[in-house]
Amino acid sequence: MRTILSLLLALVLALSAALRAQPPEEDAPVLSAAALPEPDTEAEDAPAVSWRDMGYVHYDPALFYDGTDRLTGLAAGDDAGAVTELYDKLYGEYELAATYAAVAYIRYSEDVTDEYWTGEDTYCDALDAQMADALSTACHAVTQGPCAQAFAAHVGSQAAEVFAAYEPKTDRELELVAREAELVSEYYDEMAALDGVTYTYLGEPWDLDKLSGFPGASLASRDREGYLEVYYGLHRAVNDAVGPIFLELVSLRTELAQLAGYDSYTEYAYEKTYCRDYSPAQAQALCDQVKALAAGGSMARPSAVDAPGMTGEELTQALGRCAAALHPDLGDAWQRWTDCGLYSFRSGESAMAGAYTVDLPRYGCAFIYERLYGDSQDFPTLSHEFGHFANALRNPCPNLLTNVGSLDLMETHSNGMEALLTAYYDDIYGGSAGAVRAQTLGGLVASVADGCRYDEFQRRIYDDPDMTLDEINTLFADVSAQYGVYEPADVDYTWVYVLHNYEVPLYYISYAASALAALQLWDMARAGQDAAGAYIALLDRGPYGDGYLDTVAACGLRTFTEPGAPEAICRPVIEYLREQN
């Protein structure tokens, strides 16, 4: 998942001498120096352009903004043809810039120490927010003028309603959006710089790698107090460095929500950012049920499995065999993915940790990035991301300006894929299949607890945005203990390692909601029911129509709002995991 708001940090580079030569005339076309080739749409089954062919230019929005000004001027007239033609050109430019932003993010992810791509990534994010605001403002003017009816027929009634209700962002809102992205970038930079942070104990320097390895285990066995001193010393150093960034993010997000007319950022995020069809109060009801289930440790994240890892090519081929076996449509999606090279596997310290799938709007598909660790979790991670890819390929966003989509359903597609592909682990892992399968399924159960834990943690912060860093560290320890993560502790500094707290707050509950759906698909498959058909039905309905609750119910799955549903859903897999031990 990728946030689309960031700061304009990079220097504005010249796009081309031709664009700077003279100011645009009244009827000048909307232009861009597009390095991205046009997708081939003439052939019936034409693939998207290969990733290897994708270029990048630093997008200059000058003519785009001239075009939005002209669209605003046309809004007062009755030339509907001119309005819709100009809108289409401007939307195409916005789509192009959004695709450039995806390219910049991928390049940045491949090497977070590269200053050029760091700057381009933050530039593109800020530009996205500014271009979206400019075009949405112009479209709002159209919906108030003589061409409103024709425009609604052209863009669709849903998009027209969104444009009609759009309120242009104030200078202060744009300033806050830019600062938010700058802070997120600072967080990543600071975390990269802290990778080698050390703490000296009895004259011996320790870092996190050393502490988590054999030397740390040895220290813990012979000097428990010393081990805890090093543990807390290292994590406190990281927390002290990046904690203030989080405090400023909480403050500015609270102001953003208030400027948008919301009492709290939690309400703003649930409704505006994630378009959820359930409330924070319903989420808390889920959290309360999960806490009761998790208190005994039955939802704890399983230990790592010592199983051989795979190369990127081996992962790719294994995914292809599993996807085709699960459903022909997924085999076709895998073929598109590999034919076009829409993935990047990286390893090493300079590669961004984790994995994600990012849309390529110009081509109606997506791209998968994954940092490989050479362990048994590389494949489950890839299968999770491939669920996102399958959705993006099947359900391109109808309108980047007006359709956010249900993040809960998007995560259902990914977690559902991850759960269903565990059935093919024997082919992938051989004698280690049972252990890795248990780890993957146990991870999904833990995602339910973690999704609730982090959502509750974040909601309590945004309900009291004046909390100090010490109070937040104490809060995280208290909340985590309630979910059975460990015995009650006075303080816990480790929440700063979870990037969602910084980049996508209030997202985490989507992991819980989606994992509850995914675990039902796994149970259906184990019982010999048509789980693959239910999964394809979820893909067919997509994330841009009904909300999560209605869609899950329509596909024959239980919703977490039903009394007792969370325990009824989790119990079968918890019992299965106990049987495997």
Q: Pairing mode, if any, of strands 204-206 and 355-360?
A: unpaired
Dihedral over alpha carbons 160, 162, 163, 167 (to 10 degrees): 160
Structure confidence at residue 199 (pLDDT): 96
Residue 36: pLDDT band by 50, 70, 90 thresholds? low
Round to whole Å and give the CA distance between 482 and 295.
Answer: 6
* SS3 (DSSP) at 343: strand
Round to whole Å and give the CA distance between 517 and 493.
Answer: 31
pLDDT in tens, 284-300: 999 999 999 988 777 88
Residue 432: pLDDT band by 50, 70, 90 thresholds? very high
Structure confidence at residue 54 (pLDDT): 66
Of 266 and 272, the structure prediction assigns the larger pLDDT to 266
5 CB contacts (<8 Å, ≥6 apart)?
Answer: 125, 126, 128, 129, 177, 180, 181
Round to whole Å and give the CA distance between 571 and 566.
Answer: 8
* SS3 (DSSP) at 202: coil
Structure confidence at residue 169 (pLDDT): 84
Residue 52: pLDDT band by 50, 70, 90 thresholds? low
Section 112-133 average pLDDT: 91
CA 276 from chain center: how many Å? 15
Q: Is the pLDDT of residue 48 over 50?
A: no
Q: In what order do the strands lie in the sheet with 343-346?
A: 343-346, 365-371, 355-360
Is the separation of the CB atoms in 190 and 239 below 8 Å? no
Q: Is the pLDDT of residue 377 over 80?
A: yes
Give the residue carrying structure tokens 């980049």: 503
pLDDT in tens, 351-371: 988 899 999 998 888 999 999
Q: Is the pLDDT of residue 89 over 80?
A: yes
Q: Is the pLDDT of residue 26 over 50?
A: no
Give the residue carrying structure tokens 């230019």: 57
Backbone dihedral angles phi then psi of residue 206, each to the nearest 5 degrees: -125, 140
* SS3 (DSSP) at 483: coil
3-state secondary structure 23-44: CCCCCCCCCCCCCCCCCCCCCC
Of 564 and 13, the structure prediction assigns the larger pLDDT to 564
Q: In degrees, to the nearest 5, what angle opens at C-alpha 525 toward C-alphas 523 and 530?
A: 120
pLDDT in tens, 531-565: 999 999 999 999 999 999 999 999 999 999 998 99
Burial class (CB in 10 A: 0-12, 13-18, 19+), 24: middle
Give the residue carrying structure tokens 């081996």: 314
Q: Which two tokens stand for residue 403?
A: 């359709």
Section 489-501 average pLDDT: 93
pLDDT in tens, 226-258: 999 999 999 999 999 999 999 999 999 999 999
Round to whole Å and give the CA distance between 52 and 421.
Answer: 29
Q: Is the pLDDT of residue 417 over 90?
A: yes
Residue 379: pLDDT band by 50, 70, 90 thresholds? very high
Section 402-414 average pLDDT: 94
Structure confidence at residue 122 (pLDDT): 86
Structure confidence at residue 363 (pLDDT): 87
Round to whole Å and give the CA distance between 291 and 301.
Answer: 14
Give the residue carrying structure tokens 């989790």: 570
Structure confidence at residue 50 (pLDDT): 53
Is the separation of the CB atoms in 545 and 445 below 8 Å? no
Section 115-125 average pLDDT: 91
Round to whole Å and give the CA distance between 220 and 211.
Answer: 9
Q: What beta strand segments (E) does 349-444 contain? A: 355-360, 365-371
Q: Is the pLDDT of residue 49 over 70?
A: no
Q: Phi-psi category of 316—alpha, beta or left, where left has phi over 0 and alpha has psi -120 to 50?
A: alpha
Round to whole Å and give the CA distance between 397 and 407.
Answer: 13
Round to whole Å and give the CA distance between 165 and 363.
Answer: 29
pLDDT in tens, 206-233: 999 999 999 999 999 999 999 999 999 9
What is the pTM assigned to this prediction? 0.85
Of 189 and 62, the structure prediction assigns the larger pLDDT to 62
Section 131-135 average pLDDT: 96
3-state secondary structure 7-18: CCCCCCCCCCHH
Integer angstrom CA distances of residue 283 from 275, 505, 509, 575, 580? 14, 15, 8, 25, 31
* SS3 (DSSP) at 277: coil
pLDDT in tens, 343-353: 999 998 889 88
Q: Is the pLDDT of residue 79 over 70?
A: yes
Structure confidence at residue 159 (pLDDT): 96
Section 473-488 average pLDDT: 90
Structure confidence at residue 34 (pLDDT): 45
Round to whole Å and give the CA distance between 161 and 284.
Answer: 31
317 CB contacts (<8 Å, ≥6 apart)?
Answer: none
Q: How far apart are the first and last CA of the chain?
A: 34
Section 430-438 average pLDDT: 93
pLDDT in tens, 151-177: 999 999 999 999 999 988 889 998 998
Average pLDDT, the chain: 89
Residue 4: pLDDT band by 50, 70, 90 thresholds? very low
Give the residue carrying structure tokens 């502490």: 211
Q: Which two tokens stand for residue 194?
A: 């802290």
Structure confidence at residue 37 (pLDDT): 52
Integer angstrom CA distances of residue 456 from 61, 473, 481, 482? 40, 14, 13, 11
Give the residue carrying structure tokens 């990012």: 358
Helix (H) / strand (E) containing 4: none
